[in-house]
Structure 1
Amino acid sequence: MVETDLITLGVLVIIVGFVLAFIGTLSQTKGKAKVEGGGIIFIGPFPIIGGATSERAFYVLLAVSLVFMILFIILNYPR
Structure 2
Amino acid sequence: MSELKSTINAYSKLDLENLPKAKKDKLNNMLMDAEHKLTSEGGLPRRPWFKHQIYAPGFYTGYGVKTLPGVREAVEQKN
Which protein, 1 or 2, shows the higher relative CO under an 8 Å CA cutoff with sep ≥ 6? 1
TM-score normalized with structure 1 length: 0.32
Between Structure 1 and Structure 2, which shows a larger proportion of strand residues?
1
Between Structure 1 and Structure 2, which shows a larger proportion of helix residues?
1
